[in-house]
A = this chain, B = another copy of it.
Amino acid sequence: MKQLAILITSILLPLSGYCEKQTDEKHKSLIIKEQGAFSAGGTVITSEGTFDPLKPWYESQGGQTRHGDHADVLYQIPANSKINSMVFLHGYGQSRRCWQTTADGREGFADIFLRKGYSIYLVDQPGRGDAGQTTHPIQVSVAPDDQTWFTQFRFGLYPVFYEGVQFPKEQQSLDLFLRMMTPNTGNVNEATIVDAMSAVFDRSGNGILFTHSAGGAPGWKTAIRNSHVKAIVAIEPGGFCFPEGEVPEGNRGGKGIPMDEFLKLTKIPIIVYFGDYIPTKETPAYSQNFLRNVLAIARKWAEVVNAHGGDVTIVHLPEIGIKGNTHFLMSDLNNKEIAEQVSNWLKEKHLNK
């Protein structure tokens, strides 16, 4: 009888807790059908010699392999998940952490969209974070550079925050943000990242690719490679894929790509978001001019893709009345508002299913 009571309680308590919390979104429980971790993509190298299993350390280091250059993926599938999943790729110096939380511990884009019913695939790209093992050695530097990133990411002109910035100004939040930075653990090239990202989509199935910053460039090529990519949401992407011979000066996306590859980008809807503090004219601040150039190239790129029948939208947030956003608009103080913008766009493109 006691066991039965415990059994009933163990079933009903979670349910009552769930129902109570329906009215309080902030504390509503997540119902996860499945979660886990896996590796995707990657390479193997082999050393010469013969391996002696009796002496694995001292006398026979040869004849061995090393697995590396894979992506590391955490995924969560909610109850009654939508058909389209979401795959998240971070930028330079970052890991999936930038999508999982915020500097002040609020929910990041991953949980916001998980609550909306999307399956979430959070990537550490090859040579970053938990995908640390590569086949290309590197010297990890520890040169102090927090202030460079504070400035480059447009929190302000260090030590002064921009007026109205959507970044939490408490010292603790900046401390926690800076601890999200994590170095390259190998000299991995873009093709390796694209290989791994394509393998992630083989596993996730059809979905929406979110990219941030330096993740933008391999993101376009992932969509070209893998038809499971049904849309791209690019947050201040660092470079664009132009057709060969049409690459504008200052684009960080490398040389152009063949037209038949480029045309694949015209087959899916793409939206590109830019935050605030991007001046219209040249200013003394390098970080602002840098983004001014990126935004100008983004607009050119949208014109080219759309001229070929594509569907690219560039959103400069201040122009639609959303102000104060930094380079990390997915974790800024108004990230729920930004997520709503994305949701509305997905609905418009019939991808919210």
Which A residues contact B (CB, under 8 angstroms)? 11, 13-15, 17-19, 22, 27, 29-39, 42, 45-47, 51, 53-58, 61, 63-68, 70, 72, 74, 79-80, 95-97, 100-101, 105, 107, 111, 124, 128-148, 151-152, 156-158, 160, 175-176, 178-183, 185-186, 284-287
Contact = CB atoms under 8 A, between A and B. Distances in A.
A286 B39 CA distance: 30
Given A95-B132, A183-B185, 7 more contacts: A11-B22, A61-B148, A65-B144, A72-B97, A97-B130, A129-B130, A138-B140
A97 B37 contact: yes
A146 B64 contact: yes
Contacts of A148: 51, 56-57, 61, 64
A130 B100 CA distance: 12
A51 to B, nearest CB: 5
A134 B182 CA distance: 9
Contacts of A74: 100
8 closest Cβ contacts across the A-B interface? A132-B182, A53-B157, A64-B144, A39-B179, A66-B144, A67-B178, A56-B151, A47-B144
A13 B145 contact: no
Contacts of A17: 31, 33, 79-80
Contacts of A67: 146, 175, 178-179, 181
A253 B17 CA distance: 45
* Most chain B beta-carbon contacts within 10 A, residue among A38, A55, A179, A284: A179
Q: Is the interface of A mostly helix, strand, loop or mixed?
A: mixed
Nearest to A40: B179
A163 to B, nearest CB: 15
Contacts of A101: 36-38
27 contacts: A13-B80, A14-B80, A17-B79, A27-B34, A29-B79, A31-B31, A38-B105, A39-B176, A45-B142, A47-B143, A51-B147, A53-B157, A53-B160, A53-B285, A53-B287, A54-B157, A56-B286, A58-B286, A65-B147, A65-B178, A66-B146, A67-B146, A124-B130, A129-B132, A132-B185, A137-B142, A182-B185
A107 B61 CA distance: 33
A142 B80 CA distance: 43
A58 B105 CA distance: 33
Contacts of A53: 147, 151, 156-158, 160, 285, 287
Nearest to A139: B139
A182 B182 CA distance: 14
Contacts of A105: 36, 38
B54 A186 contact: no
A42 B141 CA distance: 17
